[in-house]
Amino acid sequence: MKKYVLILFVVLVSVLFTLHGEEKKMEFKKLNPEEARVILNKGTEMPYTGKYDNFFEKGTYVCKQCGAPLYRSSDKFSSGCGWPSFDDEIEGAVKHLPDADGMRTEIVCANCGGHLGHVFKGEQLTPKNTRHCVNSISMDFIPATHENSKKAYFAAGCFWGVEYHFAKKEGVIAADSGYMGGDKQDPTYREVCSGNTGHLEVVEVTYDPSKVSYEELAKLFFEIHESAQSNGQGPDIGPQYLSAVFYNNEEEKKTVEKLIDILKSKGVTPATKLIPAKAHPFYKAEEYHQDYYKKHNKTPYCHIYQKKF
């Protein structure tokens, strides 16, 4: 009798664990109407409008609905079709299904069944001769992690030019335009430009401290703008364009203060504000602001490098 009770107990525990696993698997993200139109109802976003079309950062693309990994950035390529293109998938992550039109092959997330797009073969675009044509809206992107990386925050006028110069610096992993310093959560560009939110245009610099020091970054900050200008930067006038450093700790603060003293000894009096970063979260700006000058093949008109140290 005890033997049968033990067997029954083991079976019940096994069933409960299975149900719990299925329950966890079904914990999907709530989709907005446009996401649902594409992911659930097999719609298609307009070409050249998706945020991952002309996007080539290192990382992993995951399903928007369930978070399952789908594609690696190393398999992404530029096909010119207007949608993100991959010539391979993470093994077992994508299911191929005959399309309702009887001509194409649909691709869906193997975990949740969410619609991704279609797969095409024989186009000779890459050696693998395969193109996964995927809707940006069907995915999220997780950047590659960089062990021991650090972040620094600099405001030096229009963030387009600031980002441009930091992105070129050796040792910088990423430079992202955004907003810091105000009270409103997740402000828009229009709101910041009104001058009423208290935010500054800021660039978040992710860097490898084994390749570039914080002091080198701070020096670059002072060398790409006129820190003595107190009402903006160049032709960009307004509180959102002020010179400021959002420091993460006392060491960073002392580094900037040392550089300010050096500039003062050379006859320059910076109007740069020193603000603790922990009191002001960084809000990444809208996608069209990221890599602005690179996207438009232009050089910053109000940020010119001048060696000062």
> Which of 63, 81, 109, 158 is flagged as catalytic?
158
Report which of 246, 250, 252, 309 is spatially closest to residue 272, judged by C-alpha positions: 246
Q: Is 133 a catalytic residue?
A: yes
C-alpha torsion sign, points 208, 210, 212, 217: positive
- For helices 159-167 and 214-223, angle between their N-to-C axes, nearest 10 degrees: 130
- For helices 250-265 and 214-223, angle between their N-to-C axes, nearest 10 degrees: 40
Helices (H), the chain: 2-25, 33-39, 159-167, 189-193, 214-223, 250-265, 292-295
Q: Is 109 a catalytic residue?
A: no
Question: From residue 17, how far is each of 14, 24, 27, 250 by CA, in Å?
Answer: 5, 10, 16, 49
> Which of 109, 133, 193, 302 is flagged as catalytic?
133
The letter for the amino acid at 176 is D
Give the residue numbers annotated as catalytic, written as ranges.
133, 158
